[in-house]
Amino acid sequence: MKDLKIPFSRYESSRSAHSNVSDSLDGEDTNQIEELEREFCEYVGAKYAIATSHGTSALHLAMLAFDLKRGDKVVCSVNAHPNVPEVVRHFDAEPVFIDIAKNSYNIDLDKLEAYLQEHKSKKLKAVILTHLGGESVDLERVYSMAKLYNVRIVEDASEALGATYKGNKIGATGADIVTFNFSPHLKKNICNGGMLVTEDEEVIERARLLAHHAMVRDEDALEYIYDVVDIGNDYSLSQLNAAYIRAQVKEQDANVKREREIAQMYSKELANVEHVQIPSMDNEENSFSLYIIKIDKNRDSFATALQEEGIGSGLHYIPLHLLTYYKTKYSLRVNDFPVALRTFQQVLSLPIYASMSDDEVKTVIKAVKKIAKTRV
């Protein structure tokens, strides 16, 4: 495959990131992980935070903190990254898929409520919401459902760092747990890292215990004396990764501002291009970590043509019911989730990241227009 002039993603670096990493390498007496957790709480407005080795680790730890057990059920959108149902299956629990809304890439709240109403059960433990591309659903309605039907809410904010809902940053709007991923799906960073945030003291205490093998030590005993009080795991984030991510968090608001500017440039120039449908720009709180267009026919050949122009693209996502494991395990049919299926056949994510120059954005626009003219 030829080298891309404009890749789908490009990791962001800065002097601040280099400085933090150098401090760690030089043995400076700064606990980068503790500083990251403190600064992250300040950034999103959360009460508690625990850093993890990856976004998937944070999501898995969330299930562990909820004491998910065999046969429990967790509801999620059928349009999500495979790590969402994956962490549920690791507990031999059952993911339940819900179709997406017609005018959104997120879960259909009417269908979610209908499911919760019809399947009241002690086995129904939680709902995992994915804020796809940095756009949220009506969270107040979700939280009301959660109280009414006695389920926990986990928000997968892998692509929503810096996004807001009614003026508050995602991560501090009322969910039981929110998880973040500093190397989002298909937009890989140079380092990995995740974050779990919550307002619940019991949840954070259990998460902190289980994040380090459920090992406990007596403060008055020798350091190498420990006990194990539960079944945990190791979700540790390294000092080097934490150092780099600290800079990323400090720069995130500026990055979101730039991504919104790029989204505006795309929408202005692509608004009337035949065969291309642009996303709505009405939601000013959308962080536009993704810019998703719809191609009315031959999406894959459109992506191939972009690649031949030296431009990368992404797909968010292949619906979970089309993947061999879930299709086979739960006897799912192709047409079980018609909105997600139809959407999947058309969507294409264009490059969007803060380090893109205006000239690069214009190059993408020019290529999209050129390719669109060849569609019949």
HEC states along 129-175?
EECHHHCCCCHHHHHHHHHHHCCEEEEECCCCCCCEECCEECCCCCC
Domain match, 89 and 160 both = yes
Per-residue burial over 267-297, b = 16 or more CB atoms within 10 Å of its CB, e = otherwise: bebbeebebbebbeeebebbbbbbbbbbbee
Residue finishing a domain among 198, 223, 245:
245
Domain match, 43 and 180 both = yes
Domain membership of residue 10 (yes or no) is: no
d(C-alpha 137, C-alpha 282), whole Å: 14
Cα→Cα distances 145→63, 75, 120, 126, Å: 20, 13, 12, 11
Domain match, 214 and 267 both = no
Domain match, 363 and 278 both = yes
Residue finishing a domain among 215, 245, 275:
245
Total tally of structural domains belonging to the chain: 2
Both tokens assigned to 252: 């995130």
Cα→Cα distances 73→94, 154, 161, 200, 335, Å: 5, 13, 27, 22, 22
Note down the domain range covering 159: 15-245
Domain membership of residue 26 (yes or no) is: yes
Domain match, 107 and 208 both = yes
Domain match, 257 and 241 both = no
Domain match, 261 and 187 both = no
Global pTM exceeds 0.85: yes
Per-residue pLDDT of the chain in tens (376 residues, 90 and over written 9): 457 899 999 887 778 878 887 878 877 778 999 999 999 999 999 999 999 999 999 999 999 999 999 999 999 999 999 999 999 999 999 999 999 999 899 999 999 999 999 998 889 999 999 999 999 999 999 999 999 999 999 999 999 999 999 999 999 999 999 999 999 878 888 889 999 999 999 999 999 999 999 999 998 889 899 999 999 999 999 999 999 999 999 999 999 999 999 999 999 999 999 999 999 998 989 999 999 999 998 999 999 999 999 999 999 999 999 999 999 999 999 999 999 999 999 999 999 999 999 999 999 999 999 999 998 6
DSSP summary character for residue 34: H
- As a residue count, the chain comes to 376
Both tokens assigned to 96: 């339940």
pLDDT for 16: 83
pLDDT for 95: 98
Residue finishing a domain among 245, 271, 294:
245
Domain membership of residue 360 (yes or no) is: yes
Domain match, 203 and 65 both = yes
Domain membership of residue 1 (yes or no) is: no
Domain match, 210 and 298 both = no
Domain membership of residue 2 (yes or no) is: no
Angle between helix 32-44 and 15-25 (nearest 10): 150
Give the strand pairing for 152-156 and 124-130: parallel
Domain match, 48 and 151 both = yes
Domain match, 229 and 295 both = no
pLDDT for 58: 98
Domain membership of residue 76 (yes or no) is: yes
Report the CATH number that the domain containing residue 312 is assigned in CATH. 3.90.1150.10
Domain match, 323 and 196 both = no
pLDDT for 12: 75
Interval 248-288: pLDDT, tens: 999 999 999 999 999 999 999 999 999 999 999 989 899 99
DSSP summary character for residue 100: B
CB 21 within 8 A of CB 246: no
Domain membership of residue 312 (yes or no) is: yes
pLDDT for 1: 45
Residue (of 267, 270, 302, 299) closest to 286 by Cα position: 267
pLDDT for 61: 98
pLDDT for 376: 63
Domain membership of residue 236 (yes or no) is: yes
Q: Residue 340 half-sphere exposure, CB side, CA atoms within 13 Å?
A: 25
DSSP summary character for residue 238: P
Residue 353's identity, in one-letter code, is: Y
d(C-alpha 299, C-alpha 222), whole Å: 62
Report the CATH number that the domain containing residue 198 is assigned in CATH. 3.40.640.10
